[in-house]
Structure 1
Amino acid sequence: MAAYLLLQNKDPVALAKGNGLRNRDIPYSQIDLRPLNDDLKSTIAGFAKYAVTYDFTFDGTITNNVNGSLTPTTTFGSGNRAFPFTAALDRSRQNIQTFRETDTFGDLLKKTPSAYCADPHHNVARNYVYPITGSVGIAKQLQDFLSLKVFSNLAGKEGPPTFTSTITFKTTMRGTADPTVVISPVVGSTTRSGGYGLTSERSDEHKLIVGFAAITSEMNGAQVAEFLSPGTLFQTPRGTSEEIASEKAVNESILRFELGRQSGPVIVNSSLLSLF
């Protein structure tokens, strides 16, 4: 937003508002954009109803294995006889969690509290241990969507144009221990030796499917003024056509790329198919 307003180098009002946004002097929701010219106001307000859906899947597996061996050795007159045997205990636990959130661009701009980012000048870095909590590349997905929408006539068969992207992260942590026990023999006694191996592994696969939907209906003059006014009075009603379209785009991505790769028969809930 700041970069767009600062491009209007012959418009002192736009430049002043752009500098205020760039410097983060006050929260975005408190900046009054109503003094801008009509073209700028129309362009900015045109993004208010754009919708985004995030579908998260957390798939965590913990594996703990114990493998042991014991070799009794009995001494005979003609030599030694060994009777080795092994045992193993393999355990694993898996936990899968999924959840979905939907936002509109207008609500994200106007209703996100300033305390959400402790330092508004600091961008969250990538987290290589738990990658879903850091920078996951949303900016690139948003740029691709807007580029297709603005410059490539992105369109939908029915309803607003949509765009989906799937981001997958996998983190694996392993640890092993392999101690060996040897009991020194006494003359004429039985010698025993053995060992046991401990293996522990944790595998986390995090998947994020992002679905964007463009606007289908324009806002009237009163809605535009409300959106551009300082304060948080603006609110998009839940279940707009844009939000429904972004959710449908995510569901289509799951049906097309996730279920299609499953082996064997797949049962699809009728409530999911009813969205189409």
Structure 2
Amino acid sequence: MEAIWTLLRFCEYITAGNLLRGIKVYRTSLMCGAGLFCAVLTGCATKPVPSDVTGLTSYAIVQQIRCEARDAIRAFATNSLAEHQPLLSAHLKNNPADFIGLDFRKLDEATRRVFERYDQGAIGYDFTFDITEKNKAGGGIGLRRGFSTGPLTIGFRADNNLERQNTRTFRSADTFLFLATQMPERFCSEVRKGTNWQYPISGSIGLRETLATFISLNQSANLVGPDKTPDIPTLVDTIEFTTTVSGSVSPKVQLEPISQALRINGADITLSGERIDKHKVVVGLTLPFDPNDQRARGNLIAVQRSLSAIADAKRESREERKASAIDRLIE
């Protein structure tokens, strides 16, 4: 609507003979209209980043996915406990915070073997955010003068096309044991739940199914790794989401000349915007052939140590309070 009124004001100035003022209004309308339109439609930004449209920073997106992985691993753990330790399984389902600092060495031998087999399992995340934003603004002016032999029409047009692109890549990694028993509860206290259909990377991406498939294949299908490391069971999911938002508006004013003088015949403005978000995460699950093989675990040591430090103070204060209750459930 603002663009239409701008066109009418422009035509009014030109008709009154104030060409300079009319051109200034027209040029300003293109610049302001393009900025407003792209901001409303696509989250216009000098450097496009995921938070423009998802409402989450890159850190928060990683936080979402790591917490989803934690919940999937804890679900596997409680299901594994159900057969031999049903009371403990039920307790942990209802009180997941009690996973922090839980000592699995006190479990029965059969359950402990399962946990020892998977506690140094690793999950890695390789993120790529590829974002392209395009904004276009254009306008045209038509001049007309009548002659006895027919009308003369002259057209002028100007366009302003902008494009910005940003590709962000990074990696993160965890062990199953760290996610289940050492990640601070507060780290996941404010994550979003459920699926975001518009921007799926900012919600649940289905890691519970990924983990369940990895464990099932490893348990019963002799899962192996790549050619160079066949002794390290591996499963990789490459998950990519593409969201394209676009739109345009093209108001136009058509006037009829009332004299033989050179007059404005019509004017138009075209505003359009498009944003393409390609959010990709490669989730890799690996299980060292030998849980004590430091070479298989080496890429996770630095990550684990730095993140463990965050949890140490809180875990130490909690362990004494809940140790006796957990021991009673195991017994």
After TM superposition, the score normalised by the length of structure 1 is 0.72
Larger strand percent: 1
Q: Which residue of 2 aligns with 1:145?
A: 214
Partner deviation per Cα, 1:104-133 (whole Å, 9 max, x = no partner): 1111112211112328xx982111233212
AA paired with 1:209?
Answer: V
Let me know the Cα RMSD of the aligned residues.
2.4
Q: 1:215 to 1:95 in 2, by over 3 A?
A: same
- Shift in Å, 1:28: 0.5
Does the 8 Å CA contact 2:101/2:182 hold for their aligned counterparts?
A: no
AA paired with 1:74?
Answer: R
Instruction: Give the distance between the partners of 1:85 and 1:102, measured in 2 at CA.
Output: 58
AA paired with 2:234?
Answer: T
1:181 and 2:253 correspond = yes
- Shift in Å, 1:50: 0.6
Partner deviation per Cα, 1:183-210 (whole Å, 9 max, x = no partner): 4523222232120100011111100111
1:43 and 2:114 correspond = yes
1:5 and 2:81 correspond = yes
Q: 1:168 to 1:177 in 2, by over 3 A?
A: same
Instruction: Give the distance between the partners of 1:167 and 1:77, measured in 2 at CA.
Output: 68
1:200 and 2:273 correspond = yes
Does the 8 Å CA contact 2:236/2:282 hold for their aligned counterparts?
A: yes
DSSP 3-state at the match of 1:144:
helix
Higher mean C-alpha displacement, 93-102 vs 79-88: 79-88
Higher mean C-alpha displacement, 84-93 vs 53-62: 84-93
Q: Report matched runs for 1:1-276 at 5 Å.
A: 1-8=77-84, 14-24=85-95, 26-118=97-189, 124-156=193-225, 157=227, 158=229, 159-192=231-264, 193-219=266-292, 240-242=295-297, 244=299
Instruction: Give the distance between the partners of 1:107 and 1:32, measured in 2 at CA.
Output: 12
Does the 8 Å CA contact 1:173/1:202 hold for their aligned counterparts?
A: yes
Tell me the matched-pair count: 220
- Shift in Å, 1:61: 1.0
Instruction: Give the distance between the partners of 2:253 and 2:268, measured in 1 at CA.
Output: 6
Instruction: Give the distance between the partners of 2:219 and 2:169, measured in 1 at CA.
Output: 32
Q: 1:43 to 1:118 in 2, by over 3 A?
A: same
Instruction: Give the distance between the partners of 1:42 and 1:145, measured in 2 at CA.
Output: 18
DSSP 3-state at the match of 2:107:
coil
Does the 8 Å CA contact 1:104/1:243 hold for their aligned counterparts?
A: no
Instruction: Give the distance between the partners of 1:88 and 1:153, measured in 2 at CA.
Output: 61
Instruction: Give the distance between the partners of 1:2 and 1:110, measured in 2 at CA.
Output: 13
Higher mean C-alpha displacement, 88-97 vs 19-28: 19-28
DSSP 3-state at the match of 2:80:
helix
DSSP 3-state at the match of 2:146:
strand
Does the 8 Å CA contact 2:146/2:259 hold for their aligned counterparts?
A: no
Q: 1:117 to 1:182 in 2, by over 3 A?
A: same
AA paired with 1:182?
Answer: Q
* Percent of paired sites with the same residue: 30
Instruction: Give the distance between the partners of 2:291 and 2:155, measured in 1 at CA.
Output: 79
DSSP 3-state at the match of 2:151:
strand
Q: 1:175 to 1:123 in 2, by over 3 A?
A: closer
Instruction: Give the distance between the partners of 1:243 and 1:173, measured in 2 at CA.
Output: 42
Does the 8 Å CA contact 2:102/2:181 hold for their aligned counterparts?
A: no
Instruction: Give the distance between the partners of 1:240 and 1:27, measured in 2 at CA.
Output: 31
Q: 1:242 to 1:33 in 2, by over 3 A?
A: closer
- Shift in Å, 1:143: 1.9
In the alignment, structure 2 segments of 5+ residues that lack a partner are: 1-76, 301-331
